[in-house]
């Protein structure tokens, strides 16, 4: 691990769309769950999902019912939709490809940096997927929902006594960016899969399309 003050020592990583090419799997799951809704409502659901990748599926479903479908959502119905979503995505995510260079970066650097996963995926499901993809040896811990990512990051920084200027969060959504900003840590955007609607346009933080770019980004951050 780096030892100089201010050097990057800790890398927090979102999961879907950052480590694994699984964003489209989650989109397809929401399309399947709400396929019987009106076309405009389905479009609104998918648009919100794509723009808020860092939010948990549970909070998204609650938002859909309150603000788009405008119908009452019982706890029983919410649980049913969560279970169906999990059944649809879990095996597909386990089989999904890694983001270019991600696995190689982890293998090369897990003794150099402290790696953590910070994800909106439910905790138990995340742990199972990480285990099945043989990623567990590279991470000190993996954190899923609940709570929100900003709460996870804040608790981690406090518990481990990390200096904020030694931590970066690699994410792929405005919600990931918001979590980093709230906690006062550096943010790196993974944008390789966001060609259709790049939500990170006109921002000043660094971005990568694959992990092949991350070493050079970290080098730049270390000398700032």
* Mean pLDDT on 165-179: 94
The whole-number average pLDDT for the span 101-108 is 98
- Note the pTM of the prediction, 2 decimals: 0.92
Q: Which fold has domain 10-21+97-223?
A: Rossmann fold (3.40.50)
Tell me the pLDDT tens digit for each residue of 17-36: 999 999 999 999 999 999 99
φ, ψ at 54 (rounded to 5°): -85, -5
Task: Please tell me what DSSP assigns to residue 209.
Answer: S
Q: Any idea how long the chain is? A: 224
Tell me how far apart the alpha carbons of residues 130 and 123 are, in angstroms, rounded to a whole number. Answer: 11
Q: pLDDT at position 1, please?
A: 47
Give Cα 209 to chain centroid, integer Å: 15
178 Cβ neighbours under 8 A, 6+ residues apart: 54, 150
Cis peptide, bond prior to residue 146, ω within 30 of zero:
yes
Please give the structure tokens belonging to residue 151.
Answer: 């709460």
**Contacts (Cβ under 8 Å, ≥6 apart) of 137:** 110
Residue 24, burial from CB neighbour count under 10 angstroms (0-12, 13-18, 19+): middle
* Beta carbons of 9 and 162 less than 8 angstroms apart: yes
The alpha carbon of 125 is separated from its chain's Cα centroid by a whole number of angstroms, namely 14
Burial of 107 (0-12, 13-18, 19+ CB in 10 A): exposed
Strand partners, 168: 11, 186
Tell me what pLDDT residue 199 has: 60
CA–CA distance, 175 with 197 (Å, rounded to integer): 15
If you average pLDDT over residues 166-186, what whole number do you get?
95
| 3-state SS class at 164 | helix
Q: What pLDDT shows up at residue 213? A: 94
Whether the CA torsion 64, 201, 176, 105 is positive or negative: it is: positive
Q: pLDDT band at residue 201, thresholds of 50, 70 and 90?
A: low
């Amino acid at each position: 691990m780096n030892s100089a003050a201010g050097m990057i020592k800790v890398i927090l990583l979102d999961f879907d769309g950052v480590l694994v090419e699984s964003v489209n799997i989650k989109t397809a799951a929401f399309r399947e769950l709400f396929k019987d809704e009106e076309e405009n409502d389905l479009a609104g659901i998918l648009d919100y999902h794509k723009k808020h990748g860092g939010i948990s599926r549970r909070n998204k479903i609650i938002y859909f019912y309150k603000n788009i479908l405008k119908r009452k959502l019982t706890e029983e119905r919410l649980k049913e939709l969560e279970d169906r979503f999990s059944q649809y995505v879990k095996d597909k995510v386990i089989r999904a490809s890694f983001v270019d260079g991600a696995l190689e970066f982890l293998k090369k650097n897990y003794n150099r940096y402290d790696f953590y996963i910070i994800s909106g995926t439910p905790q138990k499901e995340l742990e199972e997927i990480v285990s099945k993809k043989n990623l567990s040896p590279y991470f000190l811990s993996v954190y899923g929902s609940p709570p929100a990512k900003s709460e996870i990051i804040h608790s981690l920084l406090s518990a481990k006594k990390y200096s904020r200027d030694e931590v970066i969060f690699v994410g792929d959504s405005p919600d990931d960016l918001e979590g980093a900003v709230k906690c006062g840590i550096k943010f790196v955007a993974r944008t390789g899969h966001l060609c259709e609607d790049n939500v990170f346009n006109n921002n000043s933080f660094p971005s990568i399309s694959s992990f092949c770019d991350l070493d050079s980004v970290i080098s730049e951050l270390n000398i700032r």
